[in-house]
Amino acid sequence: MPKVSIVEGRIFHIEGFQVQIMASDKDVRGDKQLPKQYDADRALKNTATVSSWKQLRFYRQFPGYDVNVLYADGAIARGNTTLGRVRDSYMDDAI
């Protein structure tokens, strides 16, 4: 069973953005274990929204948990934001 910090790292590696896994509206500690690893081979397309990523990828794999998708500056991305815009914030931060 992987730790939350490992799952969050894998999501960043595959999807290209940081997330904050939540339970009961609180951040889940990084050393807590989750039942499985994030299971995706490729990033969801840039035109998909944060809400669609949550529904299609996160909630199906981790029922009972919530997640915040984060911009590079740590701000929480709204549901109607495209994943491309979130990913671009990490590129802008590197310049």
The string of pLDDT tens digits covering residues 35-52 is: 999 999 999 999 999 999
For residues 64 and 16, is the Cβ–Cβ distance under 8 A?
no
SS (H, E, C) 3-42: EHHHHHHHHHHHHCCEEEEEECCEECCCCCECCCCCCCCC
Domain residues for the domain of 27 are 4-94
pTM over 0.75: yes
What does pLDDT average to in each consecutive run of 10 residues of the chain (95 residues)?
96 98 93 95 98 98 97 97 97 63
Task: Report how many domains make up the chain.
Answer: 1
